Amino acid sequence: MEKYYITTAIDYVNGAPHIGHAYEKILTDIIARHYTQRCDDVYFLTGTDEHGIKIQKTAAAQGITPKELCDMNAQKFKDAWKALDIDYKKFIRTTDEDHEKIVQKIFDKLLKQGDIYKHSYEGLYCQGCECFLNPKDLTEDGLCPDHLKKPEVVKEENYFFKLTKYKDILIKYIKEHPDFIVPQFRANEVLNQLEDIQDISVSRAKSNVQWGIDVLSDSEQSIYVWIDALSNYITALGFDTENPSDTFKKYWPADVHVIGKDILKFHSIYWPAFLMALDLPLPKHIFAHGWITIDESKMSKSLGNVISPTSVLESFNLEHPDAFRYYMASSAPCGRDGNYSDDDFKEKVNAHLANSMGNLLNRTLSMLVKYFDGEVKPEFKGENPLAKKALGTVQIVKNHFDNFEIAEASLEIISLVDAANKYVQDNAPWTLAKEEKMIECGQVLTNVLDIMCIISALIYPYCPNIAADMARQLSFNLKTKLDDLTADNIKTGKLISKEDIKPVFLRVDSEIADKSQKK
């Protein structure tokens, strides 16, 4: 694998980031980090979507300019991702000057080649969706099914993209590439939507939407959200209709677009059609994740259950975001909805990260210090009965990531932790030491520590700080590629001293971890 190009959806900046935004960015960051363990060149793109009527109206209500609103909220997203250790390569904003210029060129090219045409239109427009809706898609009360608001009747002369021109070739492509849309059950939804697809509006009249990118040849029209927003995946790489950059040639097509299921239609129908019109290859995969509910209820401002991504870190006084990252990533099977609750968060991260994984490392190192002064003797090295499961787990985890099964992969890692814990219990090194079977005792401890090196590598994408602490205490190189992992990682000689053994993760309800208890 020479390169891996991964993107998130770009977030709309008419509000601050919430836990749903964080879920997608955490998933994407974990995938990106995993692939850094398999190839040397990973490009991770995220960013913000900054044009449209909602931003125009929100800014007006706040008495500021749209650009001021965008600047303020884009920074909130950047700050949140920094707090969550989201390690992106580039953060694109659709108000970036180079993005706007390329979008104008893309629009102009499609207009000149006949894929875009001007047309008078009257339809039902949902501001929340930023799109026109068919009457049959509305609820019985005539509301948008996603936003539960009545769409407004809009009559305009706009530019339209000939989506119907690409209908048959898109249907054929999706059927012939069953892994194009992940999970596969979403592909049937897309195929059903394609059956009655219509040409789509790709501009808005300036009289209605001033905050947008101008159409080069028509000062009365603004380029509408989808050509603007979706094109970020190629403009960020330096795509140009005349002379694409070397960066674009190197990374395109994307290996995966990670998006929410609510915008699957735009990414699996509109975006591929735009790319076909530009004569560009399609992304290899579109991974549509589910939604995150809060205590089994959909997030809603009216319900007051919208959680900011950093509030969990603050409320539990977490030193780093690893526990939250792990919990969110393991909250739902591939493509399904997940749920967040404080009680479940506390229970799961304590069980998996503190009691099982952290405690296993801590007590094994402590016994090595107690019985052998922290030294691994040559006679402790030999055949490791845990090796087959551990190296098999590496392959299983890789296979899960290839299918974007991030939660499923995390369960395999914890299964390996559980196997190592069982091995310690079954072989009772404390009993072996009491019986003065010191070589056997040292072999058990060394076998576990060798496997803990593999566990640190596998858990790294989810918990980069915990993994680094584990690797430091094990003197293990965390930059080891997954294909280079062995079950013989611990070097002979002095490994660690008592003062260097530290818990890698404290229980979140402990007196030390939860400072609010210290009263």
Assess whether 126 carries a catalytic annotation. yes
Q: In this structure, how many other beta carbons lie within 10 angstroms of the beta carbon of residue 188?
A: 11
Annotated catalytic residue within 147, 175, 388, 434: 147
Q: Is 223 helix (H, G, I), strand (E, B) or coil?
A: strand
Assess whether 144 carries a catalytic annotation. yes
Burial (CB < 10 A; 0-12, 13-18, 19+), residue 21, is buried
Task: For residue 156, give the nearest of 113, 197, 202, 101 by alpha carbon.
Answer: 202
Assess whether 39 carries a catalytic annotation. no
Annotated catalytic residue within 70, 131, 144, 463: 144
Instruction: Give the angle 48-52-53 at the CA atoms, nearest 5°.
Output: 135
Task: For residue 228, give the nearest of 124, 95, 114, 128 by alpha carbon.
Answer: 95
> Where are any strands of DSSP class E within 21-129?
42-49, 90-93, 116-126
CA dihedral sign, ordered 363, 366, 371, 372: positive
Task: For residue 41, give the nearest of 74, 84, 3 by alpha carbon.
Answer: 3
Annotated catalytic residue within 70, 129, 334, 463: 129
CA dihedral sign, ordered 274, 277, 280, 281: positive
Annotated catalytic residue within 21, 34, 78, 320: 21
User: What does the alpha-carbon distance between residue 308 and residue 17 come to, in Å, rounded to a whole number?
Assistant: 6
Q: Tokens 């994407």, residue?
A: 28
Q: Is 493 helix (H, G, I), strand (E, B) or coil?
A: strand
Task: For residue 105, give the nearest of 279, 249, 235 by alpha carbon.
Answer: 235
Q: How far is CA 338 from CA 249, 291, 292, 330, in A?
A: 37, 6, 5, 9
Annotated catalytic residue within 82, 119, 298, 498: 298
Q: Which residues are CB-contacts of 21 (< 8 A; sequence separation ≥ 6)?
A: 11, 77, 80, 309
Assess whether 352 carries a catalytic annotation. no
Annotated catalytic residue within 136, 301, 518, 519: 301
Task: For residue 455, give the nearest of 364, 337, 377, 346 by alpha carbon.
Answer: 364
Task: For residue 10, give the nearest of 334, 245, 226 by alpha carbon.
Answer: 226
User: What does the alpha-carbon distance between residue 498 and residue 368 come to, in Å, rounded to a whole number?
Assistant: 9
DSSP state of 102: H
Burial (CB < 10 A; 0-12, 13-18, 19+), residue 430, is middle
The C-alpha R_g of the chain, in whole angstroms, comes to 26
Q: Which residues are CB-contacts of 392 (< 8 A; sequence separation ≥ 6)?
A: none
Annotated catalytic residue within 18, 257, 389, 400: 18
User: What does the alpha-carbon distance between residue 148 and residue 169 come to, in Å, rounded to a whole number?
Assistant: 34
Assess whether 18 carries a catalytic annotation. yes
User: What does the alpha-carbon distance between residue 227 and residue 131 come to, in Å, rounded to a whole number?
Assistant: 12
User: What does the alpha-carbon distance between residue 424 and residue 235 come to, in Å, rounded to a whole number?
Assistant: 53
Half-sphere exposure of 183 toward its Cβ, with a 13 Å CA cutoff?
A: 12
Annotated catalytic residue within 126, 131, 334, 453: 126
Positions marked active-site? 18, 21, 126, 129, 144, 147, 298, 301
